[in-house]
Amino acid sequence: MAVTPHSLGIVRSGEREPMPWKNGQGATREIARRLLGVRGPHFVWRLSVSDIDKDADFGTFPGVQRSATLIHGDGMTLDVAGTEHELAPFQPLTFDGEADAHARLTHGPVSILNVFTVASRMSSAVRVADLSDGRPMSIAGATVLVLLSGTASVYAADGASANLAALDALVPRPRVRIVSGTGMAAVVRMENYRAWRAFSW
């Protein structure tokens, strides 16, 4: 069967251009989002990767739950409303998107995976898995997978398949997809997502 990445729910990192923050202190590449409408933050959920090369103030997102995961670099301290959190690699930190947050870099530039969810509609759970242990991973339903490093392949029951590169993502699909490969992958499970079947991809 022909390779059909779109039917597998693949979003390619290379198709997303970095966009500078409004305050000019960083740049963000959006991975995927589910639109909400014309009001509010304009999404139900959104994933992105931010590149930060100096100490920076994060933007505020009222009504949004936010998660930050350090995926590249040697360390970052995130001050959220006056409380400091040391971000260790691949360890997600969840916080209120409305809170004032300031990033202080420890040893040079970093990249972080951002997950935003509208708190009144849903929440999310983020974990980072090591694909190098050789066990294939099953992805289905209201789940997003982002390959953080290494390479991987994705397969569907109908025979469709494709390769994944770093920062490529699998967005929600009803059918099961099997992922195997090397490196690290972030798995984001959307909790209490009332309309996850209404895909817009």
Q: Which residue type occupies 73?
A: G
Q: Which residue do the tokens 């909400």 mark? A: 36
What pLDDT, on a 0 to 100 scale, did the predictor assign at position 6?
A: 56
Distance (Å, whole) CA 69 – CA 34: 20
Encoded tokens for 163: 């390769």
What pLDDT, on a 0 to 100 scale, did the predictor assign at position 187?
A: 95
What pLDDT, on a 0 to 100 scale, did the predictor assign at position 35?
A: 67
What pLDDT, on a 0 to 100 scale, did the predictor assign at position 109?
A: 93
Q: Where in the chain is the domain with CATH 2.60.120.10?
A: 17-121, 125-191
What pLDDT, on a 0 to 100 scale, did the predictor assign at position 201?
A: 37
Encoded tokens for 55: 């100490």
Q: In 3D, which of 72, 75, 65 has the Cα closest to residue 49?
A: 72
Superfamily holding 17-121: Jelly Rolls (2.60.120.10)
Helix (H, G, I), strand (E, B) or coil at 92: coil
Encoded tokens for 34: 């589910």
| pLDDT (tens place) for every residue of the chain, 201 residues total | 334 455 688 988 878 788 888 788 888 898 887 765 545 456 788 899 999 999 999 988 898 999 999 999 988 999 999 999 999 999 999 999 999 999 999 889 999 999 999 888 788 899 999 998 888 999 988 899 999 999 999 999 888 999 999 999 998 888 889 999 999 999 999 886 554 443 443
What pLDDT, on a 0 to 100 scale, did the predictor assign at position 39?
A: 52
The correct answer on CATH 3.20.20.100 for the domain covering 125-191 is no
Tell me the whole-structure pTM to 2 decimals: 0.86
What pLDDT, on a 0 to 100 scale, did the predictor assign at position 194?
A: 54
What pLDDT, on a 0 to 100 scale, did the predictor assign at position 95?
A: 95
Contacts of 2 (CB under 8 A, 6+ apart): 160
Q: In 3D, which of 51, 68, 19, 15 has the Cα closest to residue 186?
A: 68
